[in-house]
Structure 1
Amino acid sequence: MAPRLPRPHRDDVRIALGGLLGGLLLWGVGLYSRTGDDPMSVVDAHWAVLVPLFVTACCELLRRTRPRTALLIGTAAITADLFTLGNLATVVMFTDLVYAAVLYGTPAFARRLPWITGLLTVVGTVVPYVAWRVPQALLIGAGVGLVSLVPAATGWVVRNHRDTAEAARLRAEQTALLAEMDRSQAVVAERARVARELHDMVANHLSAIAIHSTAALSLDDPKTSKDALAVIRENSVAGLAEMRRLIGILRKGGDDHAPAATPTLDGLPALVESARANGLDVTLDTGVCEVPAPVELAAYRIVQESLTNALKHACPGRITVALAQRDGALDVRVTSPYGHRDGPRAPGSGAGLAGMRERVTLLGGTFEAGPAGALWAVHATLPVTEGDSA
């Protein structure tokens, strides 16, 4: 089955009809490009003008879908028109075919056609002048250039502008896509950061509340219940303050409810005292000088989360927190008794270790957590040099 020709564009149909009607109007009033005395007018019958006119008009239907085919057939038609009385509409439609061949043709054909038409213009100028040795012969080259070179050059300029505009549009779309990807990644990263902050700030207090509330409910001892309620109240107030601080950070407010300062290593003694109030036997050993703020916050959160995990999972015994600064890095180590228990003293989300690992990875450090003999050890190394902690 033969392939069907593509349907012509409606603008091409309008151009073809306009050229055909214009040519018929010129033919009807007897206005031709040449007279019967012109030696080129081999066929001086008036009806012969209509054949190239109709062929060229049909080629206009293919100017966008089959530009090369339309130009080849149109070239044969304009050549045949040279041997008739000639119709100006046929010449005008042929120039449009040359223009469309450059504009809608393949890139290789569009590059070659201006050179071909330029060569034809040169030949059409030099050969007649050499043959006849009269200045009027130069007009032939001018006519060839006007009919072929000018529309080809115009099509090339328009095509370049169109390709440039298309390339700019594609670059704009790619830039917008990259910006959207960056925005999405920034949103995901910010959500992860907020999730880590929320988990690390609140988990410690809520775990203590859950453990002591269980003790208050299970033991029929007024003093024990009172002590447990005191710890619950203390952790509730501290957790509420931390929540307000986080909300203040998210809102970036500057009013009376402005957030408190970001936790630093100076707050570790208070953090350890809070853990002791929750029933943990904790010792703190720190010999840290000044470190960058991101490293300081990460170290504080690692110790805080480690104490929270010890409160929920550790066996009875001493918990050690040690911080040391050596070889351009801050070394954080937390150990707690490790053994088999019936289950955690308070439920957890399982995101604590992942959050600590993410903090360390963002700073370019190393992180390890796991059993070490009879202990559970959390060990993080955080670079404190300017290039590593930026």
Structure 2
Amino acid sequence: MPVRTVLDGRVIRFPRPHRDGILLGVTGLLGGVLLWGLGLHTTDFRELLPSWVTLVPLTVMAFLELLRRSCPRTALIVGTVALIADQFTHGNLATVIMFTDVMYAAVVYGTPASARRIPVTTGLITVAITIAALAWLRRPEALLIGVVTGLVSFAPALTGATLRNHREAAEAARLRAEQTALLAEIDRNQAIAAERSRMARELHDMVANHLSAIAIHSTAALSIGEPKASTDALTVIRENSVQGLSEMRRLIGLLRDSSGDQEPAVAPALDGLEALLEKARTFGGDSGLVFVLDDGRESGGRLPAPVEMAAYRIVQESLTNALKHASPGTVTVALTHTDRLLTVLVTSPYGERPGPRAPGSGAGLVGMQERVTLLDGELEAGPVTAGDGTKIWQVRAELPAEDDTELSA
């Protein structure tokens, strides 16, 4: 735990020294004492002060090694004063060596501003001292003073700046790699969610109308006592069971294909609406429903496959909902294609209906909304009042669609 003290009611925390600083401080202090004991000094000012004074800058510099990480700027300032003071004593090589480490640590562990300024400052100081020494001594040997100054100050600062730049570059690369991995994970999750939604829509659209017809006719078969009506209902049930099973097998085949290149044998398109309505007439005839197709598109025009498939599925789901919930009357499917916009309008009688009804889950409306949203279109579904004052259920989808024949031309 960090050392704490109380001053004027405030708790001041002192960070625990790093083990590297402790090792460097103890080693430098012991080495300096050994050099002092052997009488190995670095300056000629031996007559000004007693020999033991050399140990004062040495001790201060060894203590500053403990602060090299936690307070690098303070350690550098005090260390500079201790180094200058050492030059007016007998001098100790260990003090100079520890100062180079303090200079290095000030660049590596200091603030970014200090890391930029210290190498420039020490470089200018080295040049200035070299020029001053040459001007004062006027001998080539004066260059050695500049070299020693550069080795003590500029060289460790430059080394620290180089190491810090490498560390920052490595950290930036690590952050970029983490961000890339995070984005990849987000994309993967979105792709999985989109694929699950697509599978849910396809499964619902392929099988829901068949199961709805089965539910309605099986209820009718159980409630009607006439043998012929029961036989007709069971025939419809069998047909829908076979078709639903075929659709399920086709979907399972697509899911098991690992290549991802397999597509449905026959993609649903608007050309198949008449056959779709014919099935609806067969299933809904006993419920008093009449199905009418009003195709206002120009003949021969081809729309993009995703648009045709979405429009087909919207009509299919609307017809399925009509078979489940519509009261007796006319169900109208109207298509118009103008100004690069395909409009799908499905209306059905809205109100209480006699006879059996199949339960609904609301997944069909969700699937239609998802299909329209993927194409940047608009969808409206709900009860409205017709021109004659009657209530109808209306599904209106507007899908942006350019004619493929125009694009190919």
Q: TM-score, normalised by structure 1?
A: 0.91
Query: Where do 4+ consecutive residues of structure 1 move more than 4 Å?
Result: 341-344
In the alignment, what sits opposite 2:13? Answer: 4
For the residue of structure 2 that corresponds to 1:4, the secondary structure is strand
Structure 1 residue 297 displacement after superposition = 0.6
In the alignment, what sits opposite 1:384? Answer: 401
CA–CA separation in structure 1 for the residues paired with 2:29 and 2:354: 96
Match of 1:317 among 329, 335, 354: 329
In the alignment, what sits opposite 2:37? Answer: 28
CA–CA separation in structure 2 for the residues paired with 1:144 and 1:320: 95
CA–CA separation in structure 1 for the residues paired with 2:372 and 2:264: 25
In the alignment, what sits opposite 2:312? Answer: 300
Residue pairs, 1:29-178, within 5 angstroms: 29-34=38-43, 38=44, 40-43=45-48, 45-178=50-183
For the residue of structure 2 that corresponds to 1:379, the secondary structure is strand
Instruction: Give per-residue Cα distances to partners, 1:227-270, cap 9 Å, x unaligned.
Output: 1111111111111111122222222268xx99533222232222
Structure 1 residue 386 displacement after superposition = 7.5
Contact 1:313/1:344 (8 A) holds in 2? no
CA–CA separation in structure 2 for the residues paired with 1:24 and 1:206: 95
Bigger Cα displacement from structure 2, 133-142 vs 59-68: 133-142
Match of 1:19 among 28, 32, 46: 28
Contact 1:207/1:308 (8 A) holds in 2? yes
Q: Is 2:293 aligned against 1:284?
A: yes
For the residue of structure 1 that corresponds to 2:14, the secondary structure is coil
Structure 1 residue 343 displacement after superposition = 9.7
AA aligned opposite 2:227: P
Structure 1 residue 115 displacement after superposition = 2.1
CA–CA separation in structure 2 for the residues paired with 1:223 and 1:236: 20
For the residue of structure 1 that corresponds to 2:268, the secondary structure is coil
Structure 1 residue 204 displacement after superposition = 0.7
For the residue of structure 2 that corresponds to 1:315, the secondary structure is coil
Match of 2:361 among 340, 349, 364: 349
Match of 2:186 among 181, 190, 207: 181
In the alignment, what sits opposite 2:202? Answer: 197
For the residue of structure 1 that corresponds to 2:228, the secondary structure is helix
Task: Check 1:343–1:359 CA distance in 2 against 1; reply closer, same or farther (3 A cut).
Answer: farther
In the alignment, what sits opposite 2:350? Answer: 338
Structure 1 residue 142 displacement after superposition = 1.8
State the percentage of identical aligned residues. 64
Bigger Cα displacement from structure 2, 245-254 vs 198-207: 245-254
AA aligned opposite 1:27: W
Structure 1 residue 179 displacement after superposition = 1.5
CA–CA separation in structure 2 for the residues paired with 1:386 and 1:283: 25
Equivalent pairs, count:
382
Task: Check 1:382–1:53 CA distance in 2 against 1; reply closer, same or farther (3 A cut).
Answer: same
Bigger Cα displacement from structure 2, 259-268 vs 358-367: 259-268
Task: Check 1:42–1:111 CA distance in 2 against 1; reply closer, same or farther (3 A cut).
Answer: farther
Where in structure 1 are there 5+ consecutive unaligned residues?
A: none
Give the superposed CA RMSD.
2.2
Bigger Cα displacement from structure 2, 260-269 vs 177-186: 260-269
CA–CA separation in structure 2 for the residues paired with 1:150 and 1:253: 61
CA–CA separation in structure 2 for the residues paired with 1:128 and 1:381: 87
CA–CA separation in structure 2 for the residues paired with 1:23 and 1:51: 11
In the alignment, what sits opposite 2:3? Answer: none
Contact 1:41/1:85 (8 A) holds in 2? yes
CA–CA separation in structure 2 for the residues paired with 1:26 and 1:85: 11
CA–CA separation in structure 2 for the residues paired with 1:343 and 1:44: 117
